[in-house]
């Protein structure tokens, strides 16, 4: 079976991270989240981390060169040998061009899954999202709510709203997405990559969406 790159594509809050976590074990592919990588860098409090933090808090996008370098380094790690899933990357045509070059150079089979979700649904999802400041676990008011309201199930910490989930920041993120990221789908289509449209708010919830993606990969010969 060829090495596979599965790109989970969609607006902030469309469910990319949830799908990656559901698909990780069944597909045997590591989940690479540029958002997680950037937050890890922020936590280091080094010069780059502070620059990234300022950018995220303003609702802007981190420069392409920074993100490209992080991704290129990550996909060369041993756990990515059978393939990998990308969540939150690429966000611009410039990033997509760099990624496409890397994928073609290594003959990596590539599928783009576009999770389509209505704007109002996305705003409601992000407004209801909470994170543990200690272990990083993510919750929502529904359906993935903590056992005790606003308290982490794992360590008892009080949950917080992430800076990039605040309403004013979400609005800026959506504007940035519409302006810079939407053309990436057209780039992938025009470049001959498989691009699949999937309803990210479909009946049956996240598990049903994950099963649908798995079935499509099998039907198209990307996975057994």
Annotated catalytic residue 162? yes
> Which region holds residue 213: left if phi is over 0, alpha if psi is between -120 and 50, else beta?
alpha
DSSP string, 22-70: HHHHHHT--EEEHHHHHHHHHHHTSHHHHHHHHHHHTTPPPPHHHHHHH
In the set 39, 74, 91, 130, the catalytic residue is 91
Polymer length in residues for the chain: 224
Annotated catalytic residue 3? no
In the set 74, 129, 130, 223, the catalytic residue is 129
Q: Which residue's structure tokens are 């997405």?
A: 177
CA neighbor of 4 nearest in space, from 199, 211, 214? 214
How far apart CA 11 and CA 21 sit, in angstroms, is 17
In the set 41, 74, 130, 173, the catalytic residue is 173
Cα separation values, 198 from 4, 16, 47, 73, 177, Å: 19, 11, 39, 29, 18
Annotated catalytic residue 173? yes
In the set 16, 39, 74, 130, the catalytic residue is 16
In the set 24, 162, 166, 211, the catalytic residue is 162
Annotated catalytic residue 74? no
- Tell me which residues are annotated as active site: 16, 91, 129, 162, 173
């Amino acid at each position: 079976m060829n090495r596979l790159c599965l790109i989970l594509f969609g607006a902030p809050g469309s469910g990319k991270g949830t799908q990656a976590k559901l698909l990780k074990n069944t597909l045997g592919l590591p989940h690479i989240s540029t958002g997680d990588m950037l937050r890890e860098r922020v936590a280091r409090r080094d010069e780059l981390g502070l620059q990234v933090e300022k950018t995220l808090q303003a609702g802007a996008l981190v420069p392409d060169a920074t993100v490209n370098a992080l991704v290129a380094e990550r996909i060369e790690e041993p756990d990515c040998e059978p393939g990998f899933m990308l969540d939150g990357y690429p966000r611009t045509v410039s990033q997509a061009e760099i990624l496409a070059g890397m994928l073609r150079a290594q003959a990596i089979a590539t599928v783009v899954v576009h999770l389509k979700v209505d704007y109002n649904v996305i705003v409601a999802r992000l407004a209801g999202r909470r994170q543990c400041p200690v272990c990083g676990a993510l919750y929502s008011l529904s359906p993935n709510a903590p056992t005790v309201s606003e308290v982490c199930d794992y360590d008892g910490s009080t949950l917080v709203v992430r800076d990039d989930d605040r309403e004013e920041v979400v609005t800026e993120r959506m504007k940035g997405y519409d302006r810079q990221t939407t053309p990436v789908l057209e780039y992938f289509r025009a470049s001959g990559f498989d691009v699949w449209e999937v309803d990210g708010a479909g009946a049956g919830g996240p598990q049903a969406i994950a099963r649908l993606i798995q079935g499509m990969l099998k039907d198209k010969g990307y996975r057994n």
